[in-house]
Amino acid sequence: MLSRVFAYSIPSYLLPIDAAMAAEAASFDAQALLTLGINLGVIAFAIGTAIVCLRATKRARKQEANAASEAERYALSESTLETVLAAEPQALLTLSETGEPELLVSNLPASFGVPREPERLLNFAGWLDAASSAELESAMQALSERGEAFNLMLHTRRDKYVEVDGRTAGRSLVLKVRNIAGQRLELAELSVRHKALEEQVASLRALLDAEATKGERSLAESKASMETHFRSFDRLATAFAVFDAGQRLAHYNQAYVDLWQLDAEWLATHPRDGEILDRLRQARRLEERADYQDWKRNWLSAAGTDKQVEDRWHLPDGRTLHVIADADGEGGVTYLYGNVTEQIALESRYNALIQVQRETLDTLRDGVAVFAPDGRLRLYNQAFADIWRLSSSQLDEQPHVDDVIEWCRTLYDASEEWERTKAAVTAIVAERRPYESQFDRPDGSVIACAALPLPDGGTLLTYSDVSDTKRVERALIEKNEALEAADRLKSEFVSHVSYELRTPLNSMLGFAQMLAEPAFGPLGDRQREYVDDILSSGTTLRAIVDDILDLATIDAGTLELKLTPVNVRDLIEAARQGVEERLKQDDVRLEIEVAPSVDEFVADASRVTQILYNLLSNAIGFSTAGEVVKLACAREGAMIAFTVEDQGVGIPEDYQHAVFDRFESRAHGSRHRGAGLGLSIVKSLAEAHGGTVRLVSAAGKGTQVRVLLPVKQGATPEEAEPDLPRYRVNRAG
């Protein structure tokens, strides 16, 4: 009888046997059995409810995994910028109210000649050329007395250009020296050249003015003095020519001759201004003009007007000249010819680069704004204007960051956020750091902000509308919390119901076994059939309850293995005794083969016995009368291999991946019936020991299941020879 297999699990105190109870048991009739059947049906209903809850949990866990994956993807997309730009080479000096200097940072290359000591750094004449030193001394004086900030491009004694920025910070003065590179270096060099040109023009004007005031002196003295002065201009790189009141060439320098490639002997004849223009046009050194005569007449009309006229001439050889005609009131005129070809090309490349940057930014979905070191908006894209609802006409004027902040306050008025933004753009600190923030606007939008310092001293601000992402994230968080709460309720419910079911179930099985014993009186055939059904169903139900409790313990992570050295043959014998009645009932023969090298290994004896019992029960259930079930045990490297093999109907290949899932039970034409928890528990217990389960089966050819367990805890399944496919079970079901 199957009831005898589980008789050992009924405590002896539940079976008090005496004469009174024997007399009472004799009085049981069919009505008592019906009452027991009804109670058993209620219990079966509760168990069914628990199974439904477990299946719901399986689906919830799968949804939870999908939700977690989606949340991670959205979290990664929020990160728009992860790179921190390296600090630019610079020297940062502060002067306190007492005049004590403190050098905060100095990492400029030694080739620049910028001192690394504060006292030597303040000695501007020691590392700057004379003009730059005087300019910086004057700016520092204005900063100290009136708080006037400055930004200068200066030239060092080692022929390097640096940018010097001075500002006030509270009661202290801050002086920042940094390297100039790329386009800013080219602009600095052009600025120096332009400044030199202006100085030359100013010197020439001053000279001409001085000469005009000496008109009362003798002609010879005036001419000698003029010749002396003009000889000094021969060394200038800028071409110039002076024409007298009769529009004849009076003075010129060598750069003028080289520019126009004119014959010096012919120039010595003092040709008229118009004659020189005609010769240049004939030699194709002036740009072609359809109305040349009108242009020539207008250009020569400037003489004697006491005005200054500027124009750009585009020569046929590709050069561009910036021509300045400075006429005096007596009819004379002085021409200065500056070659601005490189400057125009640089401006063109710079404008093209800015346009490319702007077009690139306009393709971004995130709002981008680039502020120059002086705090003015240099670049922006349409997304930035859309996020803050600003017009292009406002932003095209290159407003200061203060103005932009005031416009943005209409949508989000948070002083702390805007103060941090302003500091990121305009603050002068030893080390500029990026920052990220996120805030909710009153209109319901969620904006993610990031500020990154740029190598040239500017600042990049990005704004992203992450409203949809945050709503999805919050919904996922709420859903995850609800799933966790449901999982806790499920675990508590399953644990409580299972424990509550075991007590009355054991009592019912005990009473049913007493009824089946001859000592309590004979039973009719129908009554015997009812008692046998109660014992069979109750035993099955108790096994399901035990399996559910085991799964609940595994899911909760509270399964504790009692690891001790165990004898393999003792474990196999215990499992054999557990299925002995099934073998007799189903007429199935069990063959056991244990390798001589197998003796002991470290494991939880009761759990390994449970593994073997479940595997043997499945093999017997899928076998027909007269077939053989084999149980083998052998050593494979650092693992112990338990192999259970049957000759039953086998498992189709398309179903093999699901055999270890919970509540997966298919008969495949056999007599086997169950809740589908046995193999799932085998998989979980094997993994808890650090092992694996492997399965080989084919329809109509039987099934082989191999469990690999480590001989010593800490060994891995990979240390054994892999020869069979492995299947991993989803813990959620």
CATH of domain 90-180: 3.30.450.20
CB 138 within 8 A of CB 125: no
CATH superfamily to which 560-719 belongs: Histidine kinase-like ATPase, C-terminal domain (3.30.565.10)
Nearest to 244 by CA among 206, 277, 272, 214: 272
Q: Report pLDDT digits (tens) over 217-269.
A: 555 555 555 555 555 556 667 888 888 888 888 888 888 888 888 888 898 89
Instruction: Encode burial over 178-206: b for 16+ CB neighbours within 10 A, e otherwise.
Output: bbbeeebebbbbeebbeeebeebbeebee
Q: Do the bridges between strand 628-636 and strand 589-594 make them parallel or antiparallel, or are there none, so unpaired?
A: parallel
Q: Is the pTM of this model over 0.75?
A: no
* pLDDT band with cut points at 50, 70 and 90 for residue 214: low
Q: Which CATH architecture has domain 366-470?
A: 2-Layer Sandwich (3.30)
Our CA angle for 146, 149, 153, nearest 5°, is: 135
Nearest to 86 by CA among 451, 462, 434, 436: 434
* pLDDT band with cut points at 50, 70 and 90 for residue 575: confident
Q: Report pLDDT digits (tens) over 88-114.
A: 677 888 888 777 888 877 777 888 788
> How far is the C-alpha of 606 from the C-alpha of 628, rounded, in Å?
25
Residue range(s) occupied by CATH 3.30.565.10 in the chain: 560-719
By mean pLDDT, which of 122-131, 220-229, 315-324 is the weakest? 220-229
* pLDDT band with cut points at 50, 70 and 90 for residue 463: very high
CB 345 within 8 A of CB 359: no
Q: Which secondary-structure segment (H or E) carries 707? A: strand 703-710
Burial of 9 (0-12, 13-18, 19+ CB in 10 A): exposed
Average pLDDT on 687-696 reads 88
Count of Cβ atoms closer than 10 Å to residue 355 Cβ: 10
> How far is the C-alpha of 236 from the C-alpha of 193, rounded, in Å?
12
pLDDT at residue 484, as a whole number:
80
What CATH number matches the domain at 188-345, 3.30.450.20, 3.40.190.100, 3.90.1170.50, 3.30.450.40? 3.30.450.20
Q: Which amino acid is at 199?
A: E
Residue range(s) occupied by CATH 3.30.450.20 in the chain: 90-180, 188-345, 366-470
Nearest to 504 by CA among 46, 1, 2, 16: 46
pLDDT at residue 377, as a whole number:
92
The residues, ordered by sequence, that sit 6+ positions from 196 with a Cβ below 8 Å of its Cβ are none
For the ranges 443-447, 502-506, 544-548, the one whose mean pLDDT is highest: 443-447
Q: Report pLDDT digits (tens) over 45-61.
A: 888 888 888 888 888 88
> How far is the C-alpha of 416 from the C-alpha of 432, rounded, in Å?
18
pLDDT at residue 451, as a whole number:
92
Q: Which amino acid is at 168?
A: T
